[in-house]
Structure 1
Amino acid sequence: MFKEMERSQRDEIVRRFQAETGAKPQANGERYKKGVCPMCGQKSLWIFGDNPWKIQCDKLNSCGYEISAREMYPDVFDNFSKRYAHEMETDSRAIAKAYLREARGFNTAIVNSFTQESYTDFSTKATTPTVRFAMPGDGFWERLIENLESFEQKARFKPGYSYKGLAWQVPDLDASKIKQLWVVEGIFDAIALLHHGIYAISAMSANNFPDHTLKQIYQANHRVELVIALDSDVVGRKSCLKFYEKAREIGFGKVKVAITGNEDDWNDKHLKEAFKPEDIEKYFYNGALLTAKTPIAKAQLMYERNSFNQFYLEFGSRTYWVKVDAEKLNQDKEVEEVEGKEDSKEVVSFKSACTVTQIANCTIDFLYAQQEIGTNEKFYFLNIRTDKNQNKDSFNPKHLGSASEFKTRVMNTVTGAQFTGKTEHLDKIYETKAGSLRDVNTVDFFGYANEVGAYIFKKFAVKNGQVFKINAEEYFELPKQTYIKSTFDMEKFDPAMEYQNTWTDDYFDVYGVKGVAVLAYWLGALFAEQIRAQFGSYPFLELTGDANAGKSSLLRFLWKILGRADYEGQNPNNGSKVGYLRTLAQVGNLPTVMIECEGFNLEDLKTLFDGGYLRTTGQKNMGNKTHMPKFRSALVLSQNERAITEGSRDNQLALLQRLIYVHFDTTRHTPARRKKAQRLETMDMKECSGFLLEALKHENQIMQKLNEVFEGYQDQIMAIPDMNVTRIGLTHGLMLSLLDALAMIIDMPEMLINNTREYICRIASERQTELKQDHPSLEQFWDAFDYLESQGYQVNHSRNDDYLAINLQQFYALCGDLKQPLDDMKTIKKLLPTSIRYKYLEHNKTVNSKYDDPKSLQQGFKAYKSLRCYLFARKSNLKTGS
């Protein structure tokens, strides 16, 4: 094996491989076998003990899973500065050497023309060692080694340097003495080829034809064979053809093309040890196909290599079906041999025996297969390309199983695209292109996917604090061969990638301790799934406020620091139940804000406290499988009045125990604070939305902090006098813990932190007290009733002193006359079944009032007025009766 590992790396990889897969040592540790394969699920994964660079499944035919140790355990390799600090004392290039050796698979004795430098991004203060190579003139190119998530690019040129027309080459390359020279894109590609006896120069980019360098080489050796060997992506293929023609214009008589044919570059092939003679032959074959002048010429190349009588080929931006009459072709060859025809006649023979028919005016590229987590519904992501247009879209198995279905889908994907082939042609394209597709998982929500432990957004993902950009094929490549994307897109979501702390002073002054408490909750919402996994649940937040108290402005700003503009929340009353349930399923580890919830039944939301299932629907198939989306978010209720749930007092208490309650008023409003509030409202989102990424980068530290302090804070809440509800200890203990976590992200004055702690303890105590009382609106109702009854007003129609019978219409009319304040009757009707002061029994009970009916007295006899009343017991042990 060409790549040796450090013993510390080897031991760590073996240890983690055993721990994660269950593998066991064999032959005194020569191999570690019977690990569980993540692809097939069998105990067939193994590694070499001495050099565990490659992790592979031994079921080669049925599975063939393979991954490098670097891909599986990137953290074992990346911290070069720490691992080679001692070596740096005696070797100034120790880190660069280790990077080239371990990450690139190079023997530094073969390539020695590099230096070790360092680079600092002064906007982020991030620093990394680099490996630097000199470029022609006074330029350089360097590859960054560590902390790559902190930089916009992985490599850089000397500022102001132009490499146009130039190529990098090893210093001792003598062009006059070589027979063949490859032109590749990257410096590491050129070095990789050198390890296999192939001389190469680096054009540095597929867009840079190094004409100046090549003209010098041509003058030194005009007989050298030139091999254009750029990357195999779309840009690389196009540039190969351009380079090929331009090289001929310079005068090179022998020019060939070699490409890998897949996403690997030459450094990748070097790491995979794919430079055997048959491998190189295939790379030249791929290049010959690329440079074929006509469809028939390409068909002949493919037939001579594979001997298929029927196959498809792509030429330009079109797809053809080829049929070869082998018997006729053999007959023509025999005639040629007898008549001694020229070699060029072989092409004529092939043309006469071959039929090439266009089956599509486009090419069909299978990019990857995507499977939705939860439903396992499979789609294929294709790129359809014509001469003028291209577009990527998903195709389901039904589209790919029928030529007519496929034709319709293609026409719907790209304007002007057309498929005229048969189903058998489509089957062959699918068989060839889909067999080795990469499986990409998809999620139909936005944010944290617990299944992969990563945050999945539209343009970037975050896992273990590391940021990943979306690739050209619109999915994320996460560690351990995890490929994933989201099929959901949040409107107006565009957070900044850099954190700017220019808003916190204004925020603290405008919103005070209540604003800090809400911000701590908002931070915790970004880790709601992890918190539920660790502590069992995550609280709801209820925000209420007086008129013009600033509650809506606060929510809009909090969304702004997460990168969502012009948004407050969604009113559940404006749509169907299915609609708001879908809203609750749209995000993971982001808040879900429901505004103006008055009149909305909150009964179904209690199970979301533990991250329960939202609803059950049948999958669109003939089976019995169902889809049950989970609540992955944090629930915020924002309205003018307190939350109310229908049903018994137990239901009301169950909701109240889950709520953190914060009420805003206007007591802090001053002209100076109003100006600061306006600054927050008009602040550009780029100035503050870096908060999201800053928080997610500290995921591990935040969860560690919560684990360290939660138990102590929970005990502190439970130590409050008369506190006996453990759920209040959980919810408000978490709030105190999140305040400590917030202080890790944002600098806050110690006094503000202490005052916020006191506030959280106070609202915990208030919640405990409230659980022993009626809802404030109901307390107001009973206070009015007791007052009116004590003053002799006819508000209780029950003839039994143990019971109350109240006609709400009469009671409200009387309160109105006497200017007794009450909440609206609709709200009170919802609250009455939860009554504590007087036990609720029933409503719409017909009661014969104990008060005389004036109309009956006028008719000469005594009678009682019949009224429909709400019935209550003055004592908790009484049953229905009046």
Structure 2
Amino acid sequence: MFKEMDKSQRDEVVRRFMTETGAKQQGGGQHYKDGLCPSCNKKKLWIFGDNPWKIQCDSTSCGYEVSARDRYPDVFENFSKRYAVEMETDSRAIAKAYLREARGFNTALCGDFTQETYLDYITKVSTPTVRFAMPGDGHWERLIENLESFDKKAHFKPKYSYKGLAWQPKDLDVTKIHELWVVEGIFDAIALKHHGIAAISAMSANNFPSETLTQIYQKNPRLRIVIALDSDEKGRQSALKWLDQCDEIGFYTIKVAITNSKDDWNDKHLKDELSDEHLEDYFHHGAVLVAASPMEKAYLMYQKYEKQQFFIEFNSKTYWAKVDVKSMLEAISKNDEEEETAFKSACNIIEIANCITNILYAQKEIDTNELFYFVEVIMGKKRNKDAFSPKQLSSAGEFKARIMNTLSGAIFEGETKHSDQIYKIKTQGIRDIKTIPFMGYTKEIGAYIFKDFAVKNGKVHKLNKEEYFELPGDQNIKTTFDMPEFEPSMEYQNNWSQDFMDVFGHKGLTVLAFWLGSYFAEQLREVYKGFPFLELTGEAGAGKSTILQFMWKLTGRGGDYEGVNPNNDTKVGSFRTMAQVANLPSVMIECEGFSLEDLKSLYNGGSLRNKGAKNNGLNTVTNKFRGSLVLSQNERAITEGSRDNQVALLSRLVYVHFDTSNHTSESRIKARRLEQMPMDELSGFLVEALKNEHAILNKVHAMFETYQARIMQLDGVHTTRIGLTHGLMLALLDALTLLMPIPAHIKKMTEDYICKIAVERDVELKQDHPILEQFWEVYEYLNAEGFAVNHSRNDEYISINLNQFYCLAAEMRQQLDDIKTVKKMLPQTSRYKYLEHNKVVNSKYNDDEYKSKGTKGFGAMRCYVFHKGKKVSQ
């Protein structure tokens, strides 16, 4: 039905197909085969080389098929560029090309149309349109290009009402036809015209064109009416209502035709499926829809398929029909009964469910390939949707229990043979949908997937009525995870930024820059092989909790959420929490007692944990870390193990400490104002950032090398990873200016601060942790004062009994951190070489010289032992 592609389109389709699927040329370019199918993951996808309109899978168990236009829409939408020359002599050249190429029409059969331009006055984006006049002083126009930039694909004239009216071809003479179809769209009516079928467009299933049909009836009361709306639920419901409304007007013969699929009449035209044989099927589907009883519906289905046993659905209930064919034939031959009468006497119908079930699609998890079916259960006006496992669909008992659990009051009372046939029929041509068990960025398809919306290439997509996202490139996906109280706004309001900067200053902007980078952590790791962690500390009342709650509000998560305390959970539970999001932060609060050893690999997006695959085998599934990590606590991070482990973790951390030094009465007023702002005024920040994904990433990539070099040139910075993490922070600060105005002097102050903490962190890597620095300062003070702190008899060694040391420090009013914490950290010290602990040392303070001073000596003591002259190498 499509015209032959021009060379540029053909070459681009083939190029993309080969790049995306790995397909290879065969037969000198006649075919391109062995591409990876997105549905079954087998190398069975192929296209023709000369006219590659259809992309299809050769696997008999798959049946995946999509048009090149649907998979690569932008290749066919750039009409303005491709028809610029023709526009010089034909003002409708683009509209004609659209009708011809996108709709498969002969423009001579399209009647009167014009080419216009539609402009969005807010975004300043425009597109050519094809416009059709409507009854009265109205019009309808279809947008042709840049569709991702507009909320709707079509528009009526502002303030125009088409209620009760229908679009009609100007050459339609209802006095000269015997049958008239009433369809939804103008393109549906034009498509049918190509096959000799007269049709008018009601423009919507919500608009019964009573005025237009009344006028038509007055001209031709003998006209047969065919109600031919779309096959979705609204179309089916309206078809039943419109039957009665057409009858009220006076039409005597009224029929219904539906495609029984997602295809409308224009789709059927494109697929060349409007032959007499096809039309017979569509009328059959319509007759079944309007059947007045289960028996009437059963008879229609028997006529069509001649099956002896089958299920039927009527008034939201499911029945099983069993036909005694022998009895029916005997009644016809012996009693000379009509077939329908004989059928009714020979057909036994029983109710097997007080509901109906629609298997909407199969959903397969990207990581595990675990398969579920998404099923809708309907009982009268009640309905619910849920996932059914293959096991729950495979036996009557499992099926019954799952239905009862899905919708209260619903029940299935049939046998396994009944549920098997329901499954077989309802899964014909079923679509496979990818699922993810987390929410956020999905690297495999380059899109952000949340429960209620998705963002790809800067465009927001809403769930379709079957609760998954239809993304460009024939990518169908949904998430099975739902974060509590996550409701970001779609509208961005920037009435908080000045108060934010006044309250939190350069430290707050550093946190916000990191938070912004978290939205793109996966993309940034792909380029820079890592994304930093953020460590927040602060004294009581400094604002650490306040800024975290504000960050979450910007992201759309309310309820005063701050983070999770890993000490209240198991290690597996903490890692499971971190696996729930991608390109969003995971915040661990009050985690001083939590081991941070296993977190280093998360910097590179490493594994969180392995779990057994649900396949009765030995395979495992690895949960990857896809987000960013924030550590929020009162004291700084403590690591166990070697000094190398400590350095490895600390070099990954960007450290921000909040205090109260800059708090004023004015800043406290503004802080309260920020705290009281409703989330819907703040949470548009997330979506605005994701819509600007490409601009933000381009800004970061353009500035990163310059900023990395700036960090590495700072006096005292020698660690490459410090240059990467803090250089990335500077680049993200630049990117933040795309979303909010930052005065030059405040941006400069923030840049200086990031440089300052970079230097401090690199210097710190060459020193002990502050807790250990404090420990050794107290030791050296007490030792210099002649107190009994080093029990070693060899001057090259230091032997310290911690209990005695702590008692002495307390007596001398010297501050030390908690003894349990120090015990964990002493093996990491870099000031002296750690040798061992719990070593029995015969104290030198047991000698006669010490006792002669009148002081009680010490005997054998268990000590931590260090060598004075050898520090840990850096």
Relative to the length of structure 2, the TM-score reads 0.94
CA distance in 2, matches of 1:14, 1:622: 41
Q: Say whether the 8 Å CA contact 1:596–1:640 is kept in structure 2.
A: yes
The secondary structure found in structure 1 opposite 2:737 is helix
The percent identity for this pair of structures is 62
* Corresponding position: 1:726 with 2:720: yes
Residue 493 of structure 1: how far off its partner (Å):
1.1
More displaced stretch, 265-274 vs 358-367? 265-274
Matched, 1:686 2:680: yes
1:213 is aligned to 212
Asked if 1:325 is matched to 2:324, the reply is yes
Q: Which moved more, 1:703-712 or 1:414-423?
A: 703-712
Tell me how far apart the structure 2 counterparts of residues 13 and 369 of structure 1 sit (CA, whole Å).
Answer: 28
Q: 1:307 to 1:435 in 2, by over 3 A?
A: same
Match of 2:824 in 1: 830
Residue 612 (structure 1) aligns with: 606
Secondary structure in structure 2 of the residue aligned to 1:830 = helix
How many Å separate the matches in 2 of 1:754 and 1:102? 54
The within-5 A match list for 1:429-448 is 429-448=422-441
Provide the secondary structure at the position in 2 that maps to 1:851. Answer: helix
Select between 325-334 and 550-559 the one with higher mean Cα deviation. Answer: 325-334
Summarize the Cα distance change of 1:417–1:853 in structure 2 as closer, same or farther, 3 Å threshold.
farther
Q: 8 Å contact 2:44–2:59 — kept in the other structure? A: no
Question: Which of the residues 727, 734, 745 maps onto 1:751?
Answer: 745
Equivalence for 2:15: 15
1:355 partnered with 2:348:
yes
Q: Is the 8 A contact 1:853 1:865 kept in 2?
A: no
SS of the equivalent of 1:97 reads helix
CA deviations over 1:483-542 (Å, ceiling 9, x no partner): 111111111111121222222222233222222222221111111111112221111111
Q: Which moved more, 1:235-244 or 1:491-500?
A: 491-500
2:176 is equivalent to residue 177 of structure 1 = yes
Q: Could you tell me which residue of structure 1 aligns to residue 409 of structure 2? A: 416
1:56/1:377 Cα in 2 relative to 1: closer, same or farther (>3 Å)?
A: closer
Q: 1:602-637, CA deviations, whole angstroms, 9 ceiling, x for partnerless residues? A: 111111111111112223442212222111110011
Which AA in structure 2 matches 1:222? Answer: P
Aligned residue in 2 for 1:526: 519
- 2:832·2:871 contact (CA, 8 Å) conserved in 1? no
In the alignment, structure 1 residue 579 sits paired with structure 2 residue 579:
no
CA distance, structure 2, for counterparts of residue 372 and residue 36 of structure 1: 17
Q: Which amino acid aligns with 1:597?
A: C
> Contact 2:39 / 2:432 at 8 angstroms: preserved in 1?
no
Q: 2:449 corresponds to which letter in structure 1?
A: I
Q: Contact (CA 8 Å) 1:176, 1:220: kept in 2 or not?
A: yes
Letter of the 2:652 partner, please give it.
Answer: R
Aligned to 1:406: 399
Aligned residue number for residue 515 of structure 1: 508
Residue 123 of structure 1: CA displacement?
5.2
**Aligned runs of 1:703-714 on 2, under 5 Å?**
703-714=697-708
Matches within 5 A, 1:208-607: 208-335=207-334, 339=336, 345-565=338-558, 566-607=560-601
Q: CA deviation at 1:745?
A: 3.5
| 1:647 to partner: Cα distance | 1.6
SS of 1:628's partner is strand
Indicate if the aligned counterparts of 1:4 and 1:102 stay in contact, CA closer than 8 A.
no
Residue aligning to 2:110: 111
Equivalent-residue separation in structure 2 for 1:524 and 1:863 (angstroms): 60
Aligned to 1:806: 800
| Stretch of structure 1 that moved more, 279-288 or 510-519 | 510-519
Deviation at 1:551, TM superposition (A): 1.6
CA distances 1:250-308 after superposition (whole Å, capped 9, x unpaired) = 11111110001011111222222221222111111100111111111111111111111
* DSSP-derived class of the 2:401 partner: helix
Distance 1:204 1:875 in 2: 88
Change (3 A) 1:113 1:662: same
**Equivalent residue of 1:518, what SS?**
helix
Q: After superposition, where does 1:95-106 map in structure 2 within 5 Å?
A: 95-106=94-105
Q: Which residue of 2 aligns with 1:157?
A: 156
| Aligned equivalent of 1:776, options 770, 779, 798 | 770
Task: Out of 423-432 and 166-175, give the one that drifted further.
Answer: 166-175
1:190 corresponding residue in structure 2: 189
SS at the partner of 2:260? coil
User: Would the alpha carbon gap of residues 87 and 820 (structure 1) be closer, same or farther in structure 2, given more than 3 Å must change?
Assistant: farther
Contact 1:128–1:146 (CA under 8 A) maintained in structure 2: yes
**Structure 1 residues 506-515 or 781-790, which shifts more?**
506-515
Question: Residues of 1 paired with 2:703 and 2:657: CA distance?
Answer: 27
Cα distance change of structure 1 residues 2 and 798 upon mapping to structure 2, 3 Å threshold: closer
Specify the alignment match of 2:663 in structure 1: 669
Structure 1 residue 386 displacement after superposition = 1.2
- The one-letter code sitting in structure 2 at the alignment partner of 1:393 is D
Deviation at 1:473, TM superposition (A): 0.7
2:53 maps to: 53
Distance 1:394 1:375 in 2: 16
| Residue 631 (str. 1) matches residue 603 (str. 2) | no
Distance in 2 (alpha carbons) for counterparts of 1:674 and 1:97: 64
Displacement after TM superposition at 1:656 (Å): 0.5
Aligned to 1:65: 64
- Taking a change above 3 Å as real, the CA distance of residues 451 and 629 of structure 1, as seen in their structure-2 partners, is same
* Distance in 2 (alpha carbons) for counterparts of 1:755 and 1:857: 60
Do the aligned residues in 2 keep the contact of 1:149 with 1:468 (CA within 8 Å)? no
What is the distance in 1 between the residues matched to 2:528 and 2:855?
70
Contact 1:3 1:106 in 2 (8 A): no
RMSD: 2.5
Partner in structure 1 of residue 833 of structure 2: 839
Taking a change above 3 Å as real, the CA distance of residues 548 and 322 of structure 1, as seen in their structure-2 partners, is same
Instruction: Give 1:469 deviation, angstroms.
Output: 0.9
Q: Determine helix, strand or coil for the equivalent of 1:660.
A: strand
* 1:661-718: CA deviation from partner (whole Å, max 9, x where unpaired): 1112223323333333233222232223222122212223333333333333333323
Counterpart AA for 2:754: I
8 Å contact from structure 2 (residues 830, 871) kept in 1: no
* Shift, 1:471, TM fit: 0.6
1:869 Cα deviation after fit:
2.6
C-alpha deviations, 1:8-31, integer Å up to 9, x for none? 333322332343345556677565
Counterparts of 2:91 and 2:742, CA distance in 1: 42
Q: Tell me the TM-score normalised to structure 1 length.
A: 0.93
- Determine the C-alpha separation between the residues in 2 that align with 1:269 and 1:851: 99
Aligned to 1:867: 861
Question: Once the 2 structures are TM-superposed, how far is the Cα of residue 148 of structure 1 from its aligned partner?
Answer: 3.7
2:142 is paired with a residue whose SS is strand
Shift of 1:83: 4.5
Alpha-carbon distance in structure 1 between the residues aligned to 2:664 and 2:94: 58
The CA deviation string for residues 229-261 of structure 1, in whole angstroms up to 9 with x for no partner, is: 111111211111111121112111111100010
Q: 2 CA distance for matches of 1:373 and 1:481?
A: 15
Q: Structure 2: which amino acid aligns with 1:810?
A: Q
Which residue is 2:77 aligned to? 78
Distance 1:697 1:86 in 2: 34
Q: Which runs of 5+ in 1 are unaligned?
A: none
Give unpaired runs (5+ residues) of structure 2. Answer: none
Task: Give the direction of change, closer, same or farther, for the CA distance of 1:823–1:34 in structure 2 (3 Å limit).
Answer: closer
Rounded Cα–Cα distance in structure 2 between residues aligned with 1:862 and 1:788: 18
SS of corresponding position for 1:760 = helix
Residue correspondences, number: 869
Please name the residue that 1:651 is paired with.
645
1:366 Cα deviation from its structure 2 partner: 0.5
**Is 357-366 or 711-720 further displaced after alignment?**
711-720
